Amino acid sequence: MERFDVTEIRKSRILRTEGKLRRVISAILMVIVIPAIMAIGLFVWDDRQYFLVSILILICSMLPFFMRFERRKPKTRELVVIAVMVTIAVVGRAAFYMVPQFKPVAAIVIITGVAFGAEAGFITGALSAFTSNLLFGQGPWTPWQMFAFGMIGFIAGLLFKNEIKTKLSLLCLCIYGALSTFVIYGALLDTASVFMTASKVTFEMLLATYISGITFNLIHAAATIFFLVILARPMLKKLCRIKIKYGIIAKDDK
């Protein structure tokens, strides 16, 4: 019995260590490697290889996600759930295509990050942007959208865990949703528009772009709050049940 307990303790410590290592690798990939790839695409390839940059971003976002599967089974169930969340985000974006910036994508990505962790949140955001742009049009803006949505999901997975059971936790989630869409997505895409349209980037041009984009970013933030209020608690409740029923949870994440 004691040997069994010691073995379980050792396994638990190994899993926790691997979990910390995975999170460090994830942070390096998301914060350093992917922005470096985007910078190469922008300044070296002059935004002409945006499809290649998008693929490289997807590969980088998949690496830490698949590291979670190294010691456990099954793999297919996790992938199916992520694919379903990406599909919901894409369909939601298509359903509201006539309303500028009023989209549920950020909310779905945040919910995925909360339910399944930071890595799942990033890959859901990146895949949602890439896949939906197959319908709305690929372009130099695609890598920026992938990174922006990915970071929204990644940070959500770090800040929030599992179900949102109280009104206070839902309020905090909504505040994060509004700030992340306004600051992260809005600022990144406004910056991208300057780099994609201007031959010479100046501070005045950036400031003018940020100011002109405030209305659109506020609409996007309001939409994220709206969809989080409606979808967050029921979806997270169902997703947590799925995790428990099918064992879709890594031991180092408990």
The pLDDT value given to residue 254? 44
pTM for this entry: 0.84
Query: Distance (Å, rounded) from C-alpha 57 to C-alpha 55?
Result: 5
Which residue do the tokens 């910036």 mark?
101
Residue 44 banded pLDDT, cuts 50, 70, 90: confident
Give the relative orientation of helices 118-136 and 141-159 as an angle to the nearest 10 degrees: 150
Q: Are 86 and 121 in contact (CB under 8 A)?
A: no
162: left (phi over 0), alpha (psi -120 to 50) or beta: left
In the predicted model, what is the mean pLDDT of residues 47-54?
A: 82
The token pair at 235 is 């979806």
pLDDT tens digits for 190-242? 998 888 877 777 888 888 889 999 999 999 999 999 999 999 999 999 988 88
Average pLDDT of the residues in 171-183: 96
CA distances, 240 to each of 150, 178, 232 (Å): 21, 24, 12
CB 158 within 8 A of CB 221: no
| 24 vs 90: which has the higher pLDDT | 90
CB 190 within 8 A of CB 209: yes
Q: Please state, rounded to an integer, the average pLDDT across all residues of the chain.
A: 83
Q: Is the pLDDT of residue 250 over 60?
A: no
Rounded to 5°, the CA angle 81-33-162 comes to 30
Gap between the Cα atoms of 246 and 171, Å rounded: 30
Question: Per-residue pLDDT for 2 more than 50?
Answer: no
Walk me through the domains of the chain, giving residue ranges and CATH numbers: 2-253 (1.10.1760.20)
pLDDT attached to residue 180: 96
What's the pLDDT at 172?
95
Query: What's the rounded mean pLDDT across residues 50-61?
Result: 86
Give the model confidence (pLDDT) of 92-147 as tens digits.
999 998 888 899 999 999 999 999 888 889 999 999 999 999 888 888 889 999 99
Q: How far is CA 235 from CA 30, 96, 156, 242, 247, in A?
A: 26, 20, 15, 11, 18
